[in-house]
Amino acid sequence: MKTILITGANGQLGSDLCEILGAEGFKIVPLTHADFDLTDTAHLKEVLLLHKPDVVINTAAFHHVDQCEADLEKAMLVNCGGPSLMAKFCDNLGIKFIHISTDYVFDGLKNAPYLETDEPKPLNNYGLSKWAGEKAILNECKNALILRVSAIYGKSPCRAKNGLNFVQLMLKKASEGADLKVVDDEIVSPTSTESIANKIREILAANPSGIMHLTSEGSCSWFDFAEEIFAYTHTQANLSRAKSTDFVAKTPRPKYSVLDNQKLRERGLKPMPDWKTSLHHYLDQLTK
């Protein structure tokens, strides 16, 4: 039985990974922010030597985009320094290291789905720190795998967004009768953490390395996403279109951050589900 150590185990993706990989028969070592400090070098090595995992999946990160913009030093420490040290230890100990990254490494100016081979050009400190982490990890660990995800949502609370992901927030605001102005000029591929966790389960057998994109097929604006949430759940909502320029943003964000899962196809793995299919499945579970 393989042992998989998962950091950020109580987060949206981490919790789904624990559930899905645990059900598959793997021995799971779940580590949360409360019992694991990604930036503590001695503790990192101690944890790896104690549990002797076959695989480490690092979902832990400093996700809050505006806070990263205000504190680049912390962003670099958590999103680059800690993961690169973990990658180095994993390489020395013969442990497979899988690291979760983001679509925010790109500037959104391509206006076509980004390939794994496209050069990152981050617009903000969050993207910059994650890109720095990618480079450092691949430099330290020859067999590391970087998985870039986008616009994720899951069952567990989202710490970076006051506990609610976009889907939950839209449904909550609609139930309160709020006026919802949602941008229609930022394009993403909303991706459920369950679909990511299921695909990682398949990827473990293939054992790829390098960089791989892992997002839902298809794309939409945030407005389209909200509209589909309300249509599928038959929810009455005061929803209207807005432009990103209508809001005062502390931090620049890419207007187009759709990722092409090219490497997934090249490995002969099944494609990710369409964003609507994943959303409908998630909403069915959420409203049971």
Measured CA distances, 18 to 54, 56, 215, 266, 273 (Å): 15, 12, 19, 27, 21
Residue 167: its pLDDT value, please? 96
Answer for the pair 149, 102: CB distance below 8 angstroms, yes or no: yes
Question: Which positions ≥6 away from 34 have C-beta within 8 Å?
Answer: none
Residue 29, beta-bridge partner list:
5
Q: In the structure encoding, which two tokens stand for residue 207, read together? A: 């054992």
- The position carrying tokens 């400190």 is 125
Mean pLDDT (the chain, rounded): 94
Exposed/middle/buried for residue 112 (C-beta within 10 Å: 0-12, 13-18, 19+)? exposed
Residue 1: its pLDDT value, please? 78
Answer for the pair 124, 65: CB distance below 8 angstroms, yes or no: yes
Distance CA 12, CA 170 (A): 17
Instruction: Mean pLDDT check: name the lowest of 134-138, 155-159, 178-182, 196-200.
Output: 155-159
Residue 271: its pLDDT value, please? 93
Answer for the pair 179, 239: CB distance below 8 angstroms, yes or no: no
Enter the pTM of the model. Answer: 0.95
Please give the average per-residue pLDDT across 228-242, as a whole number.
97
> Which CATH architecture best describes the domain 3-155+191-217+258-274?
3-Layer(aba) Sandwich (3.40)
The identity of residue 160, as a single letter, is A
What is the set of active-site residues?
A: 126
Please give the average per-residue pLDDT across 256-278, as a whole number.
96
Residue 39: its pLDDT value, please? 82
